[in-house]
Amino acid sequence: MTEVTGGIEMEEDTSGKIKKFLYINRKAPYGTIYALESLEVVLIAAAFDQDVSLAFLDDGVYQIIKGQHTRTIDVKNFSPTYRALEGYDIEKLYVEKESMEVRGLKEEDFIVPVKVISTQEMADLMESQDVVLSF
Amino acid sequence: MKFGILINEGPYTHEASDTAYLFAKAAIEKGHKVSRVFFYHDGVYNSSRLTEPPTDDRHIVNRWQKLAKDHGIDLVVCVAAALRRGIKDENLQEGFRISGLGQLIESGIQSDRLVTFGD
């Protein structure tokens, strides 16, 4: 938890202040725009030199599965972008074990290296963050 | 405490914007500060100057505008999300401004709490 600072204005310089940001992805990659637009946030966030983690829960685990083909729905396949995250020093990707298993998925089904963690560990991860953004 | 708010849904269809508004109002009444409200996804529609609800219903857009004016809240609409949905300066309600996602991250860094409203 961060300290209540109070009285700091928005014009303040954010450089040097590092917070823990967790981006929670709960939705399927297609069908709604949430996954794509949340990825855009993550890419912008990379420029701010914050401590960034990504978590994939529920249908969100489908965002990073291999072999996505979107030509028939005429939507851009943005899954390769997740592979680019490493280049932005975003390497802390977590998948909730229960979400993965209930959908019949395994760790090797993902296009990026992830750390598979339990629901309890996921809760602990969320607890340890300063800023949690859920999409 | 200093709050940042993120709104991810458009007005009327979802209650997210209403809930965020009531939250902001309650926080201000309790003596907290709401420094910025960031509109993302369909949330950008909360800024349309062309919004005309029936007169016996709440006017979500103008309500935000007034709260912001009264309490110095920065209302920021994401440029990429807005352009995708046909929100531009020419149909943007006064009191809102269009800017980049960096403003959302900055709000996360500078607020004590960044609270999300949406699906």
pLDDT tens per residue across span A6-48: 333 444 556 678 999 999 999 999 999 999 999 999 999 989 9
Q: Which domain holds residue B6?
A: 2-117
Q: Please give the tally of structural domains in chain B.
A: 1
Ordered structural domains, chain A, with CATH:
20-134 (3.40.1260.10)
* Token pair for B97: 């401004």
State the count of interchain CB pairs (< 8 A) between A and B.
Answer: 66
- End-to-end C-alpha distance for chain B, whole angstroms: 25
Give the residue from B1, B19, B27, B2 showing the smallest Cα distance to B116.
B19
A6–B contact, CB cutoff 8 A: yes
Across the interface, whether the CB atoms of B6 and A133 are under 8 A apart is answered yes
A59 touches chain B (CB under 8 A): no
pLDDT by residue, tens only, chain B of 119 residues:
999 999 999 999 999 999 999 999 999 999 999 999 999 999 999 999 999 999 999 999 999 999 999 999 999 999 999 999 999 999 999 999 999 999 999 999 999 999 999 98
Of B34, B31, B59, B30, nearest in space to B47 by CA: B59
pLDDT recorded at residue A14: 66
B78 flagged as catalytic: yes
Q: Does A33 touch chain B (CB under 8 A)?
A: yes
Tens of pLDDT, residues A70-116: 999 999 999 999 999 999 999 999 999 999 999 999 999 999 999 99
Cα(A110)–Cα(A100) distance, integer angstroms: 10
Q: What is the pTM of this model?
A: 0.90
**Looking at B78, B82, B98, B114, which residue is catalytic?**
B78
pLDDT at A2 over 50: no
Provide the CATH number for the domain around residue B69.
3.40.1260.10
